[in-house]
A and B are shown apart, each in its own frame.
Chain A
Amino acid sequence: MKNIRTYEEINAKIESKKAVVLTADEIMDYVDKKGLDQAVKEVDIVTTATFGPMCSSGCFLNFGHSRPKIKITEAWINDVLVYSGIAAVDVYLGATQLRHNDPANMDYPGDFTYGGGHVIEDLVAGKELQLFALSYGTDDYPLRELRTYFTIDDLNQAIMVNPRNCYQNYNVAINCSEKPVYSYLGILKPDMKNLTYCSAGQLSPLLNDPFFETIGVGTRVWLAGAQGHVYAEGTQHTGVADRGDNGVPREGSGTLALTGDMKKMNKEFIRGVSLKGYGVSLAVGVGIPIPILNKEILKHTLVRDKDIYGPVIDYSYDYPQKTGKILCHLSYEQLRSGEVTVLGRKVAVSSLSSYTKALEAANLLMDEIKRGEFLLSRPLQRLPVDIKCKSMIIKEKTE
């Protein structure tokens, strides 16, 4: 399809504060009113967003060198283990890391009140944290132990590096067994008494760009208020998905690897998560602008909750045993109604993705663009459309 505007033209309009921007929530009614042909002439950008737990999140921190120097080999921030198998005072803090001595599920179901995600939340909120670090000592890095207190302002770098965010679509979890299931999609009551979904649906970035026409490696994103970017396809990304007639995936599918400067983030959009009986995680708010380069791209942003379907999967058996069985598909419109029918039974609905916060993020991004403070970037590389997501095979050593 022929493009009717370029990235350069859009950015020129942003810089002169004349860009026409709508959120993915607003664009649907706008096009209904104006018609596609008129709307595509007027609208430069549609902002999309999502907010929810994204377990594959974390950050690289650099502490600067102490006197005397230490080459950290083991370290804990607020008693949460960080990875230190990199340069002397660099560490990686992961969202799902438990706090030292957390009884986890030995006291089933565990509470998981504090972990990696909460440390990241505290960092962004500017709180004082404790670093405890050990080393074996070397000639050039003699210090073998230290305990100190710091805030994010004391660090040289605090760069969020999230290998998998913004799942294009997601499973809807239900429990067909007679016992409660404690999952990363919350507490699932026995006998299909409730279910949980986790997607911003019609507002979610990759559901508004189902074939990755504009969101690619190098795309500038709004990562919890900081201007970050997509640095790669996310882990487990696949472009080969079960798609509906409208091209929208009916399962997980695409993912994004995101990075951004934590010193510029808004604490409202970086929140530690405690999931009973499961563990800790981090909820992240992400906003992504979609440049309306042509009519086809605009058309994709018109997708509504009623046209997006998630697969309902039994988390008591089919999910853990990886049987591949799907009980049925439900639309996000059905899910948002609060009650759905599965296998002929009425089921109450929970959500782990906040539409409220996603809307806030989409609006904040829209405001930034309108103020001329957020420019769009052309992707350096398209996200893969043909790679599949492999399974792990447990096998004997190859002779």
Chain B
Amino acid sequence: MITKKLMLFFPKCEVEKPIVYHLIKDYNLKINLIRAKITPEEYGYLVMDITGKEEDIERGLEYVKGFDVNVNATYRGLRHNEEKCTDCGNCLSHCPSGALVVEDSKTRKIIFKPDKCIECLACIRACPFNACISIF
């Protein structure tokens, strides 16, 4: 069993099929939805973790690619802009999942760990330097 992070972007939300249902039912995948927006006639997105056998994930991805959908397996919807970040650490008590952390207690530099980010967006509100942004 492996877990893959996945971001599906629908340029125009014409997909009326229950994609998540089919991924679970037909491809035996465990879906953890991180963030989603599905509104008719507008763009939409699904950010999720999918867990299952590698071949099932592959087949599931093939199924999803059959729609008018951009599939991105590398990025999340939350970006941390290192140039804007001043490493002040105001985000630390707002990030609930340990995605924004200090690892070197000497320099106190802020490290962003995308795989731990659950896209709650709390950092966006908290950051005084606009270093955390949502791509949606």
Contacts and interface: CB of A to CB of B under 8 A. Distances in A.
A113 B87 contact: no
Contact of A271 (B86, B90, B94): B86
A338 B129 contact: no
B126 A187 contact: yes
Chain B CB within 10 Å — which of A186, A187, A194 has the most?
A186
A84 interface: no
B120 to A, nearest CB: 13
Contacts of B107: 355-356, 359
Contact of A350 (B92, B108, B129): B92
A352 B128 contact: yes
Contacts of A194: 93-94
A11 B88 CA distance: 34
B89 interface: yes
Contacts of A283: 86, 88, 128-129
Interface string A266-277: 000001111110
Contacts of A195: 93
Nearest to A52: B88
Contacts of B91: 350
A124 interface: no
Interface in B97-126: 102, 105, 107-110, 125-126
User: Taking chain B's interface residues, is the majority helix, strand, or loop, or is none over half, making it mixed?
Assistant: loop
Contact of B130 (A274, A281, A338, A350): A274
A225 interface: no
Nearest to A118: B130
Given A336-B105, A350-B93, A350-B94, A276 B126 contact: yes
Nearest to A285: B86
A196 B88 CA distance: 11
B86 A350 contact: no
Contacts of B128: 53, 186, 273-275, 281, 283, 352
Interface in A350-399: 350-357, 359
A187 B125 CA distance: 8
A101 B82 CA distance: 30
Given A187-B125, A338-B102, A351 B88 contact: yes
9 contacts: A193-B93, A195-B93, A196-B93, A274-B129, A348-B92, A348-B93, A350-B92, A352-B89, A352-B128
Given A193-B93, A354-B108, A356-B109, 15 more contacts: A51-B88, A52-B88, A186-B126, A186-B128, A194-B94, A195-B93, A274-B129, A283-B88, A338-B92, A350-B94, A351-B90, A352-B89, A352-B128, A354-B87, A354-B89
Closest 5 CB pairs of A and B: A194-B93, A356-B87, A348-B93, A351-B89, A350-B93
